Structures are given as structure tokens and as C-alpha cells.
Structure 1
């Protein structure tokens, strides 16, 4: 072998050795990231109050004396939407971008340092190295950002002080032209983060509230017999965009073939005893999926446009309603959903009824009398926005009830009479954004599903720890539920 070939061989062996030492580096795009990435968000174009706040923050970005900006306000007031609008406004700048890069990071209440560092690294197109120490990642983030001419770091939904040194982010005071914006519910967090300016995000005024709710709800909010109730609901939402959009969406007119969430079917089927209640919720849900696939194969259900939903063809629906309305063997149903009713007819509420769906109407009040429906297992009242109370006598004749759905109504509290429903398996109150309190629930020992999504409760009802059969508890988007008594969740099944 020639001397030259020997030297070449040594070079090749050296390169192979270097390659093995970098085998833990994951492939990555080393191209320069775009200065701003557009983020989906609701429009605030026609809302004067948030538009003024946005203009104020934009002006602060041009102020060389301001490096840290805190935007604060109560949950649901629109802080995230406001800052997303700011991000997209920077994206649409016709001239030179004011920042070399804009980085959006979602923090949330359960702050995870590594997760946040990963978000920043991905935005900077940094390579991911398996087994890399936190110190090494911090250094790489710092070096990358230090080379950027200037940056804007947006920290959304901050609940506590965050040390920028541990994130790997240079102090904006030491990096000319760079700035940080944070959103938080608490003014103290702004102070702990040493913001130069604090901008409070105000609620919408009455006119803006009505415009947002009516725009979300569509023409149904302007109907003569609905408009007074819709305006009252808008006032009850106290100018909070999240509450207004939630209630507006619940009001929006639904067609006969609107999407049905598979999770809702799972709740009802489980509560009705159509599934084995000895299974855990995950197994039951999987069984629902399999059953739905069988029904779809028979062309009785169809895939909907939305993920995890199905729909029923209007002809199939009409036949199904005719069938369940004709039974006389204890399975008879009274289907009165989505037909614009303002009240329930006591004459039609017969003792032979098994299922009573009155959802998506405009029912104002329930009958103030005992209704003998001792065989009824399901009462569906969701989506009746004007409905603001449950009268004492009404539920007394529903002793066999297993499913009660009052989601998306305007009720402020739940009457003690609900505690007489000893067979109740599912209590669904999601979207009742004015529901502030619940009675003690320890008497509902057979309850399996409790849905309190997007309510206004301040604390969990007493007796929760005794609900030993509870399989699903939904507490998401409860912006005023800030504390849960220690041990309650642990004691649930």
C-alpha cells in the first residue's frame, strides 16, 4: 500500500470516528426561521376596547425605554387573543420587520421548564441532541439568541416568576432592541417579572358584548322572542369574550344533521346502562367506538366534518323519531328538540315516557308542578339558553332518571331537588357559564359522569369525595375555580 493511500485511510477512519460521536444528534433544518409565524386567533377588528389596548402595546414596542411589558386581567378577558393579534400584526408589517424573530411560548399553570426550552429551541431551528444536559441546552439557546439582532419573546399565561437565565434567554436590557411581553391573570406576576409597563386588559362594554354574542349566535339572537333573553345573557357574561363566545355558540341554530360528539354518546350510553358499568371509562369508550363503526357500516350514521363526531341523515333521523315515538312497551320517547319551544307542555309528559329530549329550544321556565315521569331514564334540556332555574317540584316525579343534561342553559344554581334522583348516573352541566354553586352531592352515590365544563363555580360541591362510582369529571375552563380541597380528587375512583 502506498504512503498516500495510508494517509487517506487514516483520514477516513478519523471521519468515521467523528460521525459516530455525533450519532445522537437529530437531523434538523438549519435554515433561518421566519421572523414571525402567524397564529390562528379570533378577530378583534370591530371591538373598540381591545383595539385600543392593542394600539397601546404596539406603541410600547417602539419605546426604547421599555423592555418588559406585562398584560394582565381576569381569566377569559381576552389576553391571549390580544397578544396573538399583536403577533399577526407584526407579521403583516409592510416594511422591514421590527424584530429579527418573534417567539411565542405558552407557559400555563403547570410550568414545565424543559417543555418551554423545547418550544424556544424548535422556533430557533436548533438541533435536538439526545441526552443533552439542561446546562448545555441553556448555553446553546443563549448563544443563538445572542446572535439575533433583536428578538421579541411572548410568554403567554404566566402564573409565577420565571428566571430568564434558566430559560437560556438574554436579558432584554442587555440586548439592544429586544423585548419581552407576558400575559398573566395577576399584577404581582408582572411585578415579579420586573415589567417596565403593565397594561390591564379591560372587559368589553355592553355594545361590544352584544355584538360579539349576536355575531357568534347568528340570526337566532335577533329573533323578536329571543332577543330580550339573548341581551340579558350578554349582560350576565360581564364583558368576558370567552363567556360570550361560549354562550353564542350554544345559541347558534343547529340543523337536523348537526354533529354529535362521540364522547357525548359514550356518557349517555354508559349512564343509561347500555354498557357494562364495571368497565373502566377508557374500555367503555372503546366499546362505543366499535359500536358506532358497526352502526356506520349499516348506513345509520355517517362521518361528520369534525373529528370524533358523527351525524345522522335527516331521513334516518325522521324514521328513528317515528319508531321511538311509537313504542308502547316502556321505551317510548317524546322528541321535541330544536323546534323553537318556549315552554314544556305538561300534558305531553306522560308516565310511559322513557326518554325526553327537549334540547336546543328556547324554553324559559320548567313546569312548577310534579310531573309524573317515573319511568323516564333520560331528560335532555341542554341548549335552552333562557332557562335560568330548576323549580323544586319539577324533578320530584323523575325518580328513575339516569341522565340529566342541562348544559348551555342560564341556570345560576341547582335546586336541592336534584338530590332526590338516587338513580342518576350522569349530571351534565357543561357550558352553564353562570352556574356559581352546586348543592352537596354525596346523596348521588351512583353518579358516574359529572360535567362542569366552563361553569362559574368557585369551589367543588361538598360530598364529592363520597362519589365512589364517578368515572369522569370534567372541570376544564373553570376560570374561577382556583383551589381544590386536598385529597378530594385522590379519593375518587
Structure 2
């Protein structure tokens, strides 16, 4: 991002290097997008500021690689890929200032007066702070309100000249039109909003941003790389989760300005509006309107918006949307409405709608949805007034995504409604919505409700989220060979999926190869004693991550066919890409694995075990293959653990197969709260190397007498 202080920082580095006489000479060149030529023969620190693309160093006379002759190069850029293309040895990310530090800088530049700031880029803080020096307190209050609401003012005009120019340059440098439009869609959300990438995907599909893609998942695969590109250009910020992004408020202002001037956006999101913001005439040229994050208490009877494609509204729960409100929006393709009461009859003329998302709405006349034949995305989330879906929804031949999560009063989905949606790719019902699946062959609901057999006719279905209250609802042919993502909840409580029901379920499911499933998380079942039957281990070739918590009866991860729960089988094809396992609060866990055959868990990298009281040894002697690529082991509060790695003498076959030492990739080992731990290693350690170990953390392991394998201490 422009203005965060990259140039100032490298200038200080250069000054310090001169002061300490680390180099004969320090030279700085601002390259922007037109590099200057530099030539030198001396021992130098060369600072290349504001680099926008790969530079051939030899062309500008800078020695590098084997011929560097003492020359060090420090560069700044707002594009992460530049660092990679320049083969930088180390990357330092410069973030915006924390609020407390921002306030300190603001006060310094304002003459140490008391004040507040909503800015956190140094250049903006200094600009406004200097402008307010020696001004009366009333001027501070006016400036603060202007800045907080991002209103145009003389202070913002000063920032415009410096910061805005840099931010606009970052936007202009984006190569792909789709990435630019994805960036502009982010400004539709309120300031400081955690923007769900899934919402962006749905808006992008409805907006027609990725016209060439064949499915919603393909569009999602376009959106995520675009988001990564925007992060690399410092135009979007990451959050604690990979499913959300944030937009710095200054960047958002630039996005709103560009979106308004280039694409006809009008954004008034999250500013506390209760009244309709402008006269009707002001909307005539708009293509996109965002009034989300408000609580509108009134709407005009109708709007003349002949060019409008996207409308995002949030209104008071008791507000009725006027029947003629949408009549002047013949081109609308994306409608998102939160709150209020809506009759779907008012949308019958909006035949170009691609995406309709209604959240927490009182919905009437749902039968009118049959008129919207172009719908690809239909979301009816947390709409408590919906008790049944009209059979006419089954007539939406282009529908790709149906989301009815959170509809807690939904009791009926007509039989064969789902089965008629032949292009459906994603069905999201969730655990707090419809659960009344018919049992095939029974008259539990008189044959009036949907049954799971219908899902088998959906050849395009790749995403599924459902709750199935009874195991009997699952037909024998419950097969999803192309399922990419799923959430299937069985039963009405954590204890309902016990060992018996688990065994009943998996013999059916074991015939399926979930070829693309990469993670299983939140396994939390009271009476579970094993996770997988052996056949399913072969059906998860892409599985990389397993998280298990609060399974108090769990003893093994995989159980052998003969029912002997003290053995765990391994197949040569079992979990070939398994990398990460996290097990917590499973008090009866005995072994991570034992008696494994060749190749099992050979790509395991990260293991964390916590609060598992019965486990004595984490890695048994038969799990030799799992030690080759292991990078991190963390064991906490396991009161019975006596050893971590159990080793045995190598046979001739093992010696021939093993090219690299065991544990040679291990970088981190943390052992805490293990009162019975006597040794890390059991058995011979002749083929163990700790050459990569960086972090060793030992706490409350009072019986431990040695750490590094004595016979191999020189390799650590």
C-alpha cells in the first residue's frame, strides 16, 4: 500500500548503514516504473525504492549473485510478486500502524496536542496532523468528524494529493479487468467490514463477471486467485480466516471514487441511514447501488433505474417493500435484501435476475419465483416466515445454488422439487433448517416431503450441507462421486452417532471415493472409539488434515477389520497426502498408529496432541515412514506419555529404501506438561538427524533425562 512508510524506512536503513560504516557508499534510487541506470564498483548498499516490476540488475550495472563483490541490495515495492521475481532472500511486510502508534504520530505532527485519529498510514497522519497544528479545538472536532465519515474536506484534499495518487496507481497497475471489478465489488460493503469471499463470489456470478466459467465452483476458483492478487498488490488486507478479507478505508475511498466514475456505482453502506438518501432522479444513471449496513425505515414507492444491475439493501424489520418498488429496474441482475417484508410478486417483471438473496425477510408469494427463469443463485437465509418451499421452485431450470440455511420453521420441501433442479451444483440447508426427509419406502410424512434419493439424480451437485435426523433416511445408493465440499450432520446430538451407527453408515459410504476431500474437522462425538473403517482410508486419497476433539472413548484413528481395537491397519494407498493431525481431549487414545505397512502416513508433517491422558507413546516403532517428512510435533498435558519416538533396528530393506535420515525435516518440537516423560527417543538412534531443528520447548517434564539422541548429537 502506498503511504505506509516504505521509503522512509529504507532511508533510515541507509542512514544507519552510513553511520555504522557498514559500506563504503550508500546509494538510493527511486525507480517507480522507469528504472535509472546504476553503475558501481565499490562495496555498496544499494536501495531501490518503489519497484513495480522485475529489474535485470546487470542491465543497470548492479553486481549480484556470485559477483556481488560486497554489494547488498534493499528494495521496496507494493507488489509481492516483485520480491519473488527478484529472488529476494528475505521479505519484510510493512503493515499499517496500530491505533496507539498512529495516535502518537498524529499528536507529534499536530504539535503534541490531544486529539484522536481514524488514520493509520504515516503519510496521512503527518499530513492532517500538520494541518491541525495550533488550530482551535473546534477545528479538531470538525476535522475528526470529516475524517471519520471520509467526507471531502481540505484535509482530505491534502491526503488526496499524496496518498490517493499512490493508491490509484496501485489500482491502475492491476492487469486483469476481472480483478479490478472484483476489487470494486469490495467497496460495496461497509467500512472496516469483514468481507466474506463467498458473498463476493455470489455477487460476481450474478454480475456476470466470469461469463466463461461453467460452474459456481469454477467462478469461486477465479475469485480466490483474484483476491490473492489484490492482497499481493496491497489493495486488500487479510483477516484471521482465509474466508474473509478487509479493505483499508483509504483504499475503499479510492475504490468508491473509481467505481462511481467508471461504472456508475453509488455506495452508502454502513453509515446509519434510516431515510432514503437522495431524490429518485439521482439514481437514473446508477448500475450498482449499495445501501447495506443501514436500517432504512422508508423506501420510495418506485425507482426509475433503467441501468441498474446490482441492488444491495438493508432495512428495518417491520418495513414493507412497496409493490411497485422494482418496476423501474428492468435490467437488475443481483438483488440482496436484508430485513423487512417482501412480496415476490413485486419481482415478477425482473426477469433478468441472476442472483436473489433474501436474509431475515418476511417472504410472501414465493410461488412467483417461477417467473424468474434466469435465476442461478437463490438464497432464502434465516427467513423465519417460510414454512414450506413452493413446488414451483422446481421449475427454475438454470438454478445452480439453493441456500435455505437458518430457515428454522421450514418443515416441507415437496417431493421431487430438488430432483427437478438438474443444474443444481450447491444445496445448502444446514443444521437449523429443514430436517423432514422422507424415509424411502415409508409413509412417515405421507410421501409429501423430499427424500435423499432425489440428490442422486443431480449429476452436477458438488457442495452439500444437510442435517439428517435418522440414519434410516439414508438410502443404500447415497453416492456423491463428485462431491467437493460437504457438511452432513447425523442425529440430534453429539452422542447419537455412536460406534454402532457409525459402523452402519460407513459400510455404505465406503464404496465412495471422495477424491477431492482435503480436510475433516470438528469431529466431536462422545462415544466414538475409532474414526475410520479401513476401507474408507483408501477412499480419501486427497485427505490432508484431521482435527478431532472431545471424543472421550476414542482409542484409535483407524480400526482393523477383525474388530481388534488394539490394532490399526494400514493400506499402501491409505491417506497418501495426509499432512496434519490435531487431537485434543481424547482421554482414552492409546496410539496414534501401530503395525503400519509400507508408505502409511509418509507425508505427515504436523502433529499436535493435547489432553490425551492414556497415550504412552506417540510414534510407535512401526510408524517409521511417518518420521521422514515430519516438521512439527507438539504434545501438551498428556499425563501418561513416557516416550515420543519409539525406534527399532533397521532391517536390510529399510536401509536400502531410506535415503535421508529420520526426522531430518523436524524444525519444531514442543513438549509441555508431561509428568511421566522419561525419554524422547526409545531404541537405536543411528539413523536420526536433527539438522533442521530450530525450536525446542520443554516445560514441566521433570523425569526427562536427555533430549538430543546421544549417538547423533553432532547432526543436530
The TM-score, its normalising length taken from structure 1, stands at 0.45
TM-score of the pair, normalised by structure 2: 0.31
Larger radius of gyration: 2
Higher relative contact order (CA 8 A, sep 6+): 1
More helix by share: 1
Higher relative strand content = 2
